[in-house]
Structure 1
Amino acid sequence: MLNTPRANRLHISIFGRRNVGKSSLINAITGQQIALVSDVAGTTTDPVYKSMELLPIGPVVFIDTAGLDDIGEIGSLRKRKTIEVMDKTDFAILVFSVENEDISLERNWFDQLKSRNIPVIGVINKMELK
């Protein structure tokens, strides 16, 4: 199964704002430190891909993305790459932080995913902060 080409794998993408725990989530799911984790917002700059076997589903590729709320000129480029990931997403995980009371950005992203018929699940993270 590890020889399955990336294009033939189920693509599971992780979306959310900066520093909501997307990279920590992909590291926890995979059991590896594949994505850099930091308290500095905007640590993930390019999509991070991890191919693996997910039982009972089979071969998948997880994709960690930059924050949906990234700012500045470089931030716009990061967001563009994140939007490009949506085009290859088969299933989306939308990560929320309990720190963010305004979820209009997440609702907008949820609507975009649903309009493309991409199944999406919401994950509430950082519960220890409440």
Structure 2
Amino acid sequence: MIKKILLIDDDQVTNFLNRKLIEQSNTPIEVKTVSSVMDAIVFLRENKSNWIPDVIFIDIFMPIKSGWDFLEEFQQEFESQATTIKLYMLSSSREDEDITKAKDHFLVKDYITKPLTSNILGDILS
């Protein structure tokens, strides 16, 4: 079965590198990237019947709306799917407050400090 991964990060280089890392895994994966929370919500709305991600990686700090804003909107709008999709905060922040907040959020499976690595990806996909 093909896994589907959505990357949400305003940094295009990060999205490019993460996409390449994911595509090099030995698992059949479809990867979509968006550069904002609004783009992510619109993408999920428009594709909710034909492209539901298995995993979402989301950055915390983005312009206009943050990863925290995404969690709130995602929970409200996609409540029925919220617990079946694995959400991971993928951020460069090493602040204890961010890490604790992410790990305590019921939708977030884990907090990952950038960069995403093949070992971490392998653990998530297995």
Q: TM-score, normalised by structure 1?
A: 0.42
**Larger RCO of the pair (alpha carbons < 8 Å, separation 6+):** 1
Greater share of helix:
2
